Amino acid sequence: MKRLLLLLLFIPIVFALDCSDLDPSYIGSSTISYSATGSITFDFQNDRAIVEYVNTDIRAIPQAQVVNPQYSGTIRTDEFGNSMIYYQRTNITRSSVLTNPLEWSYQALVHLNKSLVLANSNPSYPYPADSFPSDVKEYLDFTRVADNSPAIQEKVTELISGVTGYLDVVSKLSKFVAYFLQYNLNYAPSSIPASQVYYQQSGVCDEFSSLLISMLRNAGIPARFVSGFAFTNVGVISCTNFGPHSWVEFYLPGTGWVSIDPTYKEFFFVDAGHVPLYVSSDSSTNIINASYLSSMNISVNIQTPQFNFDLSGYDFTHQVLNLSTRLSNNTLGENDYLLLNASIRNPTNKWALDTLVFETTQELTLLYNNGTIPLVIPPNSAISAYFILLTPGGLEQGFSYVHPMIVRLLSGGYDLFNITINPSLNIATSYNDFINMIGNESRNYVSNLNVYNNAITPTMVTSSDEPVMRFDIKNAGNSVLENVTVNVNYAGVNYNENIGSVLIGEVIHYSKTLELPSRSGLITVTATVSSGTITNSVNSSFTLISPPPFNFNISGSSTYTGVGDYQLSVHTSSIPGNFVSANLKISVNGNAVIDKPFYFSQSVIILPQTAFTQDSNSIIAELTYSDTEGNYYAARSSTNVGKVAAPITNPFEAIGLFFKALLDVFKLLLGL
């Protein structure tokens, strides 16, 4: 009914240095040439005026890995733990400033990485405030900018009602702020309290960050303000296109501080174009703090620092799944509802925190979920992200329309995750059909489990063999199959194994070495694969062969002239009393000669002379039989027979051979 074109790309790409079309969220790692400069000037009223001292703290050092830093002044740490430049001058006069201006600078290469956050745990919520470290508890307190209000408290309570996971609380609150506020440059660069931001529902990065910090602290989760610069693709894009920016860090017990950028909609990490300069309790902390003492009324002017950034190298690594759907008025239809299900697996033993992005054309209306969402994936598990789309109207008869879609993980988790999309979009006539399914987690009607390609090798097994059962398990539905179990049962032997989750469209190649049962004979193995109420079974078999309770051997003349048939003697030390049937197979030089029922009263088997084609001939006999208890036995014996020329007994035949040989000599001498 629908056609989808799928193209899966898990390719790390290193570009030549061209930032003209660079999406910041794709930057996985970066090297940035960074410099910052500034100065302090004084308005001296006369030559006798003097400034006894000026102490200046400058928060211009990137809180990241820096190489070959060069700076004026000394470096010390502020109350928030930030490294900053400390600059001090004493006995400053008009003449000394002219010859030695009060200027400061810092430059270095900055290395940044965007990395997937793997958390040790998802603590239970609410988390006891007393359990936070002492230097973290201060970030639970409200401030003038990250303030509180009844409206914010009410919204937080509404959003996290019934949530029992610490990370799930962070996910809900950060997603809310990212989509609740509208970006509006009219509010830059003032620091507006979070209570006012919530009321006006707009702002720039400082407002996004302040509201999220306030909501997290309302929920009892420590959060702090991060100030710095970030690469942006707004306006004319170049490798120096960095602008002032702010974002948030929240404290995760057992892991530490984790970044969220609600403005860029980057949840649980920020891209490698973010350059952090300092953290603080809110946006009111200044880049420069200066104190001075003067003998007269002297005005001081602190120049706005000049920052320069050049993205001198970056690594563009990401995971993307591209697909498209073809719409026409006689296939999918107008104003139909589509359900897209993205499944993401976490194969690690830790909690994986990521951001999922879904993009499509404007003609397809996204009705359920947002285009960018935070992900909290439990260890060794898979989750589903659902998107409901509405197809456009006005499809003309006879035409079809292709609508591309993109799903990607911002972490670039291609080396950890397996992301799959339902290859056949589901259709419903009602929006509520999908809402009810998603809300109630009732996915059975779209679940499907296939088990196929089943086989056991080898099929004939002795006590020294290890038979292996293999089959394929495919999720042929459109929802993740969770807690998939495999049960293998045969001849009193039983295995149970949980293989975890199977993603949409994923095929698991399952194999199991089978333990040999206590009895021999034909063994039928049943494998049952289950996930919830979905079950599928397959049967395979092998024959276990035991040595018989008697001796078996063959014998015969060690030489054979090729005249007449060859007589092979078959010996058994006893005749089993409970045998049901027996069969004898004999091969000469690897070629089957005899394959027929065997009666233990037989002692001679006739082999045709045509079977002996070589000077030395190998004879192998295999006797198999089953008894009334269903056991299966087999025995093998072999012998070698040499082929020799038959003696000449007819005198006329000898004379003929003599003259033939004499004729051959004459031909040789005459060169004929």
DSSP codes of every residue in 442-488: --GGG--EEEEEEEEE-SEE-TT---EEEEEEEE-SSS-EEEEEEEE
The verdict on 172 and 257 lying in the same domain is yes
pLDDT band at residue 37, thresholds of 50, 70 and 90? very high
pLDDT > 90 fraction of the chain, expressed in percent and rounded: 44
Q: What is each CA distance from 80 to 138, 219, 277, 278, 671, in whole angstroms?
A: 10, 22, 12, 8, 111
Would strands 559-560 and 632-643 be described as parallel, antiparallel, or unpaired? parallel
Residue 2 pLDDT > 60, yes or no? no
Which of 247-261, 267-281, 532-546 shows the lowest per-residue confidence on average (mean pLDDT)? Answer: 532-546
The Cα–Cα gap between 506 and 274 comes to 36
pLDDT tens readout for residues 87-146:
888 888 888 877 778 889 999 999 998 878 899 999 999 999 999 999 999 999 999 999
For residue 14, the model assigns a pLDDT of: 37
Residue 522 pLDDT > 60, yes or no? yes
Q: Mean pLDDT, to the nearest integer, of 155-179?
A: 96
Tokens, residue 227: 């100030």
For residue 324, the model assigns a pLDDT of: 66
pLDDT > 70 fraction of the chain, expressed in percent and rounded: 82
What range defines the domain where residue 131 resides? 118-268
Q: Mean pLDDT, to the nearest integer, of 469-497?
A: 88
The verdict on 475 and 394 lying in the same domain is no
The verdict on 557 and 540 lying in the same domain is no
Q: Which of 255, 165, 264, 253 is nearest to 212 (CA)?
A: 264
Tell me if 274 is assigned to some domain.
no
CB 257 within 8 A of CB 270: no
Tell me if 652 is assigned to some domain.
no
Would strands 534-544 and 460-461 be described as parallel, antiparallel, or unpaired? parallel
Q: Is the pTM of this model over 0.75?
A: no
For residue 425, the model assigns a pLDDT of: 59
The verdict on 585 and 626 lying in the same domain is yes
Q: Which of 550, 47, 26 is nearest to 311 (CA)?
A: 26
The Cα–Cα gap between 627 and 633 comes to 8
CATH number of domain containing 383: 2.60.40
pLDDT tens readout for residues 190-200:
678 999 999 99
The verdict on 186 and 230 lying in the same domain is yes
CB-based contacts of 26: which residues, under 8 Å, 6+ apart? 271, 316, 317, 318
Would strands 426-428 and 337-346 be described as parallel, antiparallel, or unpaired? antiparallel
CB 230 within 8 A of CB 203: no
**DSSP 3-state of 432:** helix
pLDDT band at residue 6, thresholds of 50, 70 and 90? very low
Beta bridge partners of 246: 227
CB 478 within 8 A of CB 506: no
The verdict on 514 and 421 lying in the same domain is no
The Cα–Cα gap between 267 and 265 comes to 6
Residue 457 pLDDT > 70, yes or no? yes
The verdict on 243 and 139 lying in the same domain is yes
Residue 672 pLDDT > 60, yes or no? no
pLDDT top residue among 578 and 476: 578
Beta bridge partners of 594: 586
Q: What is each CA distance from 363 to 211, 366, 369, 378, 428, in whole angstroms?
A: 33, 9, 17, 35, 18
Q: Which of 315, 274, 266, 354 is nearest to 110 (CA)?
A: 274
Tell me if 625 is assigned to some domain.
yes
Residue 440 pLDDT > 60, yes or no? no
pLDDT tens readout for residues 543-598:
888 888 888 899 999 888 878 889 999 998 888 878 888 899 999 999 999 999 98
The verdict on 162 and 233 lying in the same domain is yes
For residue 444, the model assigns a pLDDT of: 36
Tokens, residue 538: 């397959």
CATH number of domain containing 473: 2.60.40.10
pLDDT top residue among 468 and 342: 468
Tokens, residue 466: 């290890």
Tell me if 223 is assigned to some domain.
yes
Tell me if 296 is assigned to some domain.
yes
For the ranges 18-22, 190-194, 660-664, the one whose mean pLDDT is highest:
190-194
The Cα–Cα gap between 663 and 669 comes to 10
Question: Exposed, middle or buried: residue 558 (CB in 10 Å: 0-12, 13-18, 19+)?
Answer: exposed
The verdict on 413 and 484 lying in the same domain is no
Tokens, residue 278: 């300092």
pLDDT top residue among 386 and 427: 386
The verdict on 423 and 335 lying in the same domain is yes
The verdict on 367 and 247 lying in the same domain is no
Angle between helices 166-180 and 205-218 (to 10 degrees): 150
pLDDT tens readout for residues 302-337:
888 999 999 888 776 555 666 666 665 555 667 778
How high does pLDDT run on average in the chain?
84
Residue 7 pLDDT > 90, yes or no? no
Tell me if 474 is assigned to some domain.
yes
Would strands 274-280 and 559-560 be described as parallel, antiparallel, or unpaired? unpaired
The verdict on 226 and 209 lying in the same domain is yes
- Residue found under tokens 């390719």: 11
Mark which of 516, 544, 572 sits at the end of a domain: 544
For residue 9, the model assigns a pLDDT of: 29
Instruction: Give the number of domains in the chain.
Output: 5
Tell me if 665 is assigned to some domain.
no
- For residue 308, how many other CB atoms are within 10 A of its CB? 12
Tell me if 282 is assigned to some domain.
no
